Structures are given as C-alpha cells and as structure tokens.
Amino acid sequence: MNRYDHSKIEPKWQKHWEVKKLNHAREDSTKKKFYALIEFPYPSGDGLHVGHIRSNTAMDVVARKRRREGFEVLYPIGWDAFGLPTENFAIKTGIQPEIVTKKNTDTFRRQLKSLGFSFDWSREINTTDPKYYKWTQWIFLQMLKKGLAYKKKMEINWCPKDLIGLANEEVIDGCCERCGTKVEKKEKEQWMLAITQYADRLDKDLDLVDYLPRVKTQQRNWIGKSEGAEINFKIVGNDTVVKIFTTRPDTIFGATYIVLAPESLYAQELVAQAENTIEVAQYIQDVKSKTDIERTSADKEKTGVELKGVRAISPGTGEEIPVYVADYVLAHYGTGAVMAVPAHDERDAAFAKKYGLPVKHVVESLSTLSEGPDAVKPGLPFVERDAAVCIVRHWSEEKYLMSFYRANGWKGFIVGGLEGGETPAIAGTREIHEESGYKNARFVRDVGVLHSQFFHQVKAVNRSAHFKVAYFELADGERDEMSEDEKKLHEVVWLSEGEVEKAMNREDIQLAWKFFKKGPCFTGEGILVNSGKFNGKNSTEVKKEITESVGGTWVTKFKLRDWVFSRQRYWGEPIPVVHCEQCGVVPVPEKELPIQLPKVKNYKPTETGESPLAAIEKWVNTKCPQCKGKAKRETDTMPNWAGSSWYYLRYADSKNKKEFASIKNLKYWTPVDWYNGGMEHTTLHLLYSRFWHKFLYDQGLVPTNEPYQKRTSHGLILAEGGEKMSKSKGNVVNPDELIKVVGADTLRVHEMFMGPFDQAIAWDTNTIAGSRRFIERIWALHTKVGESQNTQIDSLMQKTIKKVSTDIEEMRFNTAISALMIAVNDLEKETTISKENYEILLGLVAPFAPHVADELWSLLKNKKSIHLAPWPIFDEKRVVEGSGKIVVQINGKMRATFEAPPGTGDKELEELAKKLPEVGKWIEGKNIAKVIVVKGRVVNIVLI
C-alpha cells in the first residue's frame, strides 16, 4: 500500500482491536494494575464536539503507553445520562427521556469508537439503567441507616414559571437557567446528605493525594475550614445574646457594629424589638429573592438595614454598638452573625462607608524582610525609628514623586524621620524640600500607619521603622537645586499611577500606596493598637488570649453545607423510601430494588411544586413495608450528581448482580490511578464523590480511603473566536466530518498539538492540515526502511524516546508531538532508515495516532499489534554527545535544522542559520527585526 488512506485503515484496525479484545481489562492478571479514568460524558442530543475529545485523547495516550509498559490497564467508559436537559427536551417534544437517552448514547458510542479510543467497552455503564441505579439506591439506603440521609424543611431556589426547585448552579444572575424567570425563595422539605460530618477528613486527606495545587485549593475553599472564636454580644435591655463567629478575635476592639443574616434566628427574634419592624421585615423578605452567590459576590453592592433601637454591647470595649441585618452574611456559615470591623475587613469597610458607620483601627501592618541584601540580620539588635512616608502629587498632572535610592536599589517614596514628636505634616514638608528641592508642598491628609523591619544597608543596622504615611500636593513647580549629597543618595522622578505600581519594589511601600488608593483597610496580621492591654503585641500570637479575655470559645468551623439531595423532577433515580402515616419514613426493602421510574405522559412539575411522579397515583400509592398499611412513595428524585458519585467503582465489576462491585475486584483496581476531567468539576463532583467513597470505606465496602490517587484537568477548547462552544451560538465543531475528511488519527494529533493541555485554546480548523501532513510524512518514511547505521540518528531517536516519554507523563502532549516532528524532519533527510529507528518512531507515535501506527507496524512484517509491543526504552549509552541540532525558526515557525558543535557562540549560530539555502529564501529582501538565539537549541529570526 503506497497511499495513506485513513478511510480504509481506521475501520480495519478498530475492528481488529475489538475482535482481539485488545483493550479488555482482566482482574485475573498477574500484572501490576493501572486504572485510567475520564469523567463519563453526558450524552446530549448534539453528539460529541471537538472540545469533548481533548480529555479522552489525553488519557488514551496515557493508557496505551501504560499497557505497553507492562501494566494491566482499565480504561472504561459509560454515560452520565440523568439530568435536566433530557427532561426539558421531553417536556418540549413529548418524547420519552429513555428514548432520547438511547438515541444520544448510540450517537456518542459510534463517535467515540470512530476515534479509536482504547476503552474497555465490555464494562460500559449507564446511570439511567435500572441495573445500575439499583445500586445508587442501595447506597442511599445505607446512608439512611447511618443517619447521613435525612429530610429537612429549608428555603430553596424556586422558579415560579417552571414550578421547580433549582440548585444554586442552575440560577444565573438571579434567574432560572431554563426560562430566565426571576428566582424566588420557597420553603420545602428536601432530602439532605450529611456531608458536613466528613468535612474535616475531606480537608485533611487532600494531603494524601496527588491533585493539581489549584484543584486542592478549590476543594479546600469550598470546604472552608477555619479556626476562630465564638463570642457572645449581649443585647442591651434584655436577656438576648447574639453569638458571633470570627477568625479574627484579635480585631474585636475595632468592632463598631454587628451584622445578622436576614434568615437567621437572631434576626427573626430581634426584628420585633426594633423601632422599624415593618422596614426590617420588608428587607428580610426582599433578600429572599437573592441567591447565596449574589449575596456574597465581591463585586455586588452590599445592602442592609439597621435594627433601630436595638444595641449590642461589645465585650472588647464595653461600648454599645448598632445592630444591622445585611445580605452579605449567611445564616448557615458560622453562627449567622458577625462582628463588623470595617478597618480590617473589606466587606465591612464597604458597608460602613455606605451607611456612615465608624471605623476604628486596631491592627497596624508589620512586614519583615527575610530575603535579599535588606533581610534582617539574625542576632543584630533593632534600632527603632519613627518616620514619615510622603506620597506627593504633581501640581498639574496625575503623577507622583518617587525616589530611587542608589545604594540599596529601593524604589519608593520620600521617607524622613520624625524628630522630637513632629507630625508627618511638618516632617514631610521638610523632607520633601530636602530630598527633592520642591518648596511648596501642602499637607492634605494622613493615610495610615505601618511598621517595617529590615536591614538598613546605609546605616548598617537592623531597622524597626514605624511609618506614618501622609499625602501631599504641590502648589507649583517652584524648586531649589538639590544638594550634591542628596543627588548621590537618590534620584527623584515623576511617574504615572501605573508606572508607580510597576516601580515599587518593597512590600511596605506597596502597602502605603494601597492605603492611599483604596483607604487603610488592612486585612492582614500585624501589631495591635487601640486594644487596651494588648497594645503592641503581635495580633497572631494573642488571638486565643483575647478570646479567653472576652469570655469566648475557640472552635473549628466549616463553610461546607449538607448536600441538598432531592429534586422535584422526573428524570432521576427514585428515592427508595415510602411515607407511612403510622411508621413515618420507611426504607424500601433492599430485595425490592430497584424502584423503577414509571412511564409518564406529562413531565411537567405539579402546581404544588412536586415532581411529575406525584401525579401518578398508581405508582405513588403503595403499602408500608413495616405495618403493611397505606403508604405513599417518595416522589422526589435524586440529583444527577448521585450516579456520578460512585461510577468508577462499578467499572471494576460492571456485570455484578449481587453487589455494586466485589471486594476482590475493588482491591485489585482501586484507587483510580489517574483521573482527568474539566476544572469545572473539580469542586462539587470531586467533593461529592470523595464523600461517598469515604462513607463506603467506613462501612468496609471499599478498600481505600480515597477514590482517586491523581487528578489532573484540561483547558477548554473554545470555538473559533474564543467563545465557549454551544449549540445556541451555532459554533459547535462536530468531529464526524473531520474524521471523514482527514481521519481520526489526524484529529487526535491535532487536539494534542494545539497548545498546552491545561490551558484553554481556540479551535482553528485551518491548522489541522499540518497534523495531516505530519502523519503523511511518517507514512512516506516507510519506503526508506533498509540497512542503515547512523550513530547520529540513533542518538536522536534515543533523545526522542526520553523526551516523548517524559512529556506524556507531565501532560505536555504538544511538546511531545513537536519532538516527534523534529525527529521526522531529520529522518526525511536520510537516504535509508534502519528498521529499529523507524519502529521506535512508530512506537512513540502510536498512542497519538494508533491506527496508522498499527498499519505501518504490520507493513514491517510484525505479527502482533504495535499496541502489544513494549514501550521503547531510553538507552543513555547510545546518545552521542557531539554536534547538537539547532532548529531555525522564521517568526516562530521551524524552517530548517543544522548541526553545530557544543559551545558555538550565539553570533556564529546566527550567521550559520542565515547561510542555509532553506532559510535564505525566507529572509531574502526582508527586514529582520531581531534574532533570538536559545543557546545550543534554537535560532529564531523575527521579520518585520
């Protein structure tokens, strides 16, 4: 076969792999296992688009490499098929959700198989299959037995048009995602899962797993573990006590008011005591229409109302302070009440500014330099110094005077000592004149106070400076000549705001500027002032001491809330309980599982907000399993998160009818070794899944404490133009046509080569031709295979083995393919290529382009599939250290390569590159802007 014809090659090898069961995982293997996992897809009616393929291809590359490294690999696939989009489609069209789901999964399956992914299709699962959700229901019952599942009346997001409850993520800008109607709050009984009982473990055990740092950060932020104090504020004139929670008890002396969450019990109790009861009650009602996300968003204006006539006593100062109800405090975090310290909390500061509330500073910044030539010298005593930091504005332009100190490289403002009790206004005016010559500086205002510890190179002492920041404006440019001594010490320059922010190179000066621009709201730790007997102490060190002094208690709190687990919808797993007038909530006997969804004609929620199931009397009315009396089935269904919380376990034993998976199989396969998915699922899905797994572990049903050993994430593939792909925008790129025209291997290579895997990148159909040409060049090389001995090429291929192997493990797929392209470039220059080196090339290409690699492997008379051949092993002894290959680029695109001895100078490399004929044709008659030389590797000629 001389011509590369993907339309024949790809179906041929897909059929071969399926017949030979090449990708079927075996538990009876003696090999070490490797479990590779992707987030199983939601099968929408649109089918796959090119954005879906990125994660699948990446883990397929890893899975194929692991098989060839001698591992027994499980790389499974299934369908996360319950969910609102299918139900919405059913409401709109009247087509049964199960019919829609089957059609969609058939489409997805066909597309995934056409891409040659090495999934073990024998383990395919579907969350909507009763044989699967039987075990989802069974796990729920185990949680119910242990008290982790319970019902609670609570406020939910309610769409008055669609008559459904909405999760927070289904509310967009305060409106229903489905219809755009303004969402309301409504009280309803909901099923809950007590994930908060696992909050501490979910936080601590992140130390045991290999997750991306940003994934761990997202998890920890959502869990929201914080240590702090619970402190009682007494209400004046009665016995009511408001307990607040704060992580900053050190700032209690700066509390100038307290804030109650509108839905808190405190607000409900105190509203009757207020002089403006009607106003407060109306405000509380108005807040109900806002979501938690809206209320706590940093860029949303905070609102509130004072409980007039209601005052609290601050236990720090004994002073009476006002009480507010405000939307930025939530009832379910902490105690539903906070002390407000506007000098040291940005939300409180914004609120205090809006309502004219007092601001009292009790913590002043302390920065200690620990690196560089200005770092504090251990053992050297500190010399105290009071000084003014002078921020000076130009008399006619929006520019500020900065001083660049020559001896130590400091770039900041004019600084001068306060002598004999001077004010910053007096000292600053003098220092501005002495250090810059400007005569007419007018003091405008004090900005703030900060403290700094550093080694003063000029004075050769450890300095403990107490800076008072002051703002001045020049009346005009009248100026005396600076003295020669001052000129030797520093240079003064005028800079714009943006230039000032770039120039400042000290933390204390940067903070001084921040105080000036945004106000002195200091949220960090530091030195206490205005705090009675604690003045001068480090705020961090005395938090617990202050807590004790005001009668408080040191506690640990979590922001995490229990999981709202019920939905008033049809297309979800039925919750397996009945409601009996005599016995209450009764679990369905396990032998009766699964409780299957009945057929319905109408998928719309009822007028009362119950799910469509509530209208099916024949299904709802049943007998109580305990007393055999009349009972009604639960009509709420589970959220789509339910089935996806444990799906990875079912893959280990997907056909088991007796249990969700045998412990034998679970001991072999779990934990998942490498799990890749989108960043959008690294908070809730990952947290819920870890919670379910830990519960099952506690029951002795799984052998590991954590479900996933490693978690990575990919960047989105955006539509051309940089927008997110969506059917509504008409910018979705379907892979079917691309596979037909250029082939699955080309598409796979293109997806991995487009850019760094963890970054978002816009799709560009025009560039896919390059990936096709790359495969065609590999194909053409098979005609050169013959007898050949070339140590330079041997060395090149060994380096390529090392580079590609390392890059796959670090998910640098684009640079792995780049290395393969460089190797192909060099191989093309050879008259003949040894079979060994061509097989190495095919072996490295195979995870990315599995079909063409297997075809070319067979043309070399190899009997077994390349995907059964061992992964190439790097042999350092075969690497020749001599002339190095230099890549020549024109405007960043590779145009040639040449050899040069190690140590060749940059200028010489540039000249050698320009003399190459294949470079000359690109630069002849062109203007060269610059030449960038990466020593020993690249010469990049940039043309204008």
Question: What is the C-alpha to C-alpha distance for residues 416 and 364, in angstroms, rounded to an integer?
Answer: 19
* Distance from C-alpha of 428 to C-alpha of 422, rounded to nearest angstrom: 9
Report the length, in residues, of the chain. 944
Mean pLDDT (the chain) is: 92
Q: What is the mean pLDDT of residues 201-217?
A: 96
pLDDT of residue 882 exceeding 70: no
- Copy the structure tokens of residue 427: 């000292």
Question: How many C-beta atoms surround the C-beta of residue 880 within 10 A?
Answer: 13
Confidence of residue 42 (pLDDT cuts 50, 70, 90): very high
- Which pLDDT belongs to residue 657? 96
The predicted model gives 225-236 an average pLDDT of: 95
User: Measuring CA to CA, how many Å separate 894 from each of 143, 615, 751, 779, 941?
Assistant: 60, 67, 20, 21, 10
DSSP string, 70-84: T-EEE---EE---SH
Other Cβ atoms closer than 10 A to 284: 20
Say how far residue 308 (Cα) sits from the centre of its chain.
43
**Which residue in this structure is represented by tokens 């404490």?**
705
The owner of tokens 């294949």 is 918
Q: Is residue 787 over pLDDT 60?
A: yes
pLDDT in tens, 331-341: 877 899 999 99
List, for residues 600-632, the tens digit of each pLDDT value.
888 877 777 788 999 999 999 999 999 999 999
> pLDDT-based confidence at 508, cuts 50/70/90?
confident
B/e letters for 360-396, b = 16+ CB within 10 Å, e = fewer, are bbbbbbbbebeeeebebeeeeeeeebebbbbbbbbbe
- What digits encode the pLDDT tens for the residues 298-320? 677 889 999 999 999 999 999 99
Question: 33 by DSSP, 3-state: which?
Answer: strand
pLDDT band at 400 (very low <50, low <70, confident <90, very high): very high
| Tokens describing residue 512 | 């001084």
Q: How far is 850 from 57, CA to CA, in rounded Å?
A: 11
The pLDDT of residue 903 is above 80: no
pLDDT tier at 294, thresholds 50, 70, 90 = confident
Give the model's pLDDT for residue 507: 86
Please give, one letter per residue, the 3-state secondary structure of 812-826: CHHHHHHHHHHHHHH
Q: What is the pLDDT of residue 532?
A: 95
Q: How far is residue 516's CA from residue 930's CA, in Å, rounded to a whole number?
A: 42
Q: What are phi and psi of 19, to 5 degrees?
A: -65, -40
Q: What is the largest CA-CA distance in the chain?
A: 102
Q: What pLDDT score was predicted for residue 101?
A: 95
Residue 1 has pLDDT above 60, yes or no: no
Pairing of strands 884-890, 893-900: antiparallel
What is the C-alpha end-to-end distance of the chain, expressed in Å? 45
Integer-rounded Cα Rg, in Å, for the chain is: 34
Non-local CB neighbours of 525 within 8 Å, separated by 6+ positions: 250, 363, 366, 538, 539, 540
Beta bridge partners of 888: 896, 939
Query: Is a pLDDT exceeding 80 seen at residue 721?
Result: no
The better pLDDT of the pair 723, 692 is held by 692
Q: Beta partners for 427?
A: none
Can you give the pLDDT at residue 72?
A: 98
Residue of 715, 742, 720 whose CA lies nearest to 731:
720
Q: Residue 727: pLDDT band by 50, 70, 90 thresholds?
A: low
Contact 296, 347 (CB under 8 A): no
- What pLDDT score does 728 carry? 62
How much is the pTM? Answer: 0.81
8 A C-beta contact, residue 392 and residue 472:
yes
Going by the DSSP 8-state scheme, the letter that residue 3 receives in this structure is S
**Cα–chain center distance at 792:** 44
- pLDDT tens profile 576-588: 999 999 999 999 9
Mean pLDDT of 910-932: 90
Render pLDDT for 678-699 as a digit per residue (tens, 0 to 9). Answer: 888 888 899 999 999 999 999 9
Give percent of the chain above pLDDT 70.
98
Give me 855's structure tokens: 């075809």
pLDDT for position 788:
84
Closest CA to 649 of 71, 29, 35: 35
- pLDDT of residue 737 exceeding 80, the answer is yes
- Provide the token pair at 944: 């204008």
pLDDT of residue 64: 98
Look at residue 104 and tell me whether its pLDDT is greater than 60. yes
Q: How confident is the model at residue 878 (pLDDT cuts 50, 70, 90)?
A: confident
8-state DSSP, 849: S
Closest residue by Cα to residue 570 from 82, 124, 214, 29: 82
Q: How far is CA 444 from the centre of its chain?
A: 44
Residue 441 has pLDDT above 90, yes or no: yes
Which whole number is the average pLDDT over 444-455? 92
The whole-number pLDDT of residue 169 equals: 63
Instruction: Measure Cα distances from 804 to 737, 779, 854 in Å.
Output: 30, 19, 19
* 71-85, 389-403, 510-524, range with the lowest pLDDT: 510-524
Helix axes 97-114, 84-93, angle to 10 degrees: 120
Round to whole Å and give the CA distance between 124 and 421.
Answer: 80
Q: 491 pLDDT exceeds 90?
A: yes
Q: At what angle do helices 813-828 and 791-809 cross, to 10 degrees?
A: 170
- Determine the pLDDT at residue 165: 74
Residue 820 pLDDT? 97
Tokens of 548: 């004790």
* Digit-coded pLDDT (tens) for 57-67: 999 999 999 99
Does the structure show a pLDDT above 60 at 116? Answer: yes
- Mean pLDDT (whole number) for 658-667: 98
* Percentage with pLDDT > 90 across the chain: 73
Instruction: Compute CA 720 distance to the chain's CA centroid, rounded to the nearest angstrom.
Output: 24
Mean pLDDT, residues 530-554 taken together: 96
Query: C-alpha distances in angstroms, 408 versus 391, 405, 489?
Result: 20, 6, 10
Compute the average pLDDT of residues 712-737: 81
Calpha distance 417→863 (Å, rounded): 85
Determine the pLDDT at residue 497: 95
What pLDDT, on a 0 to 100 scale, did the predictor assign at position 75?
Answer: 98
Count Cβ neighbours within 10 Å for each residue of 2-21 and write b for 16 or more, e otherwise. Answer: eebebeebbeebbeebeeee
Bridge-partner residues for 580, per DSSP?
A: 584, 631
Q: Measured between alpha carbons, how far is 24 from 74 in angstroms, rounded to an integer?
A: 8
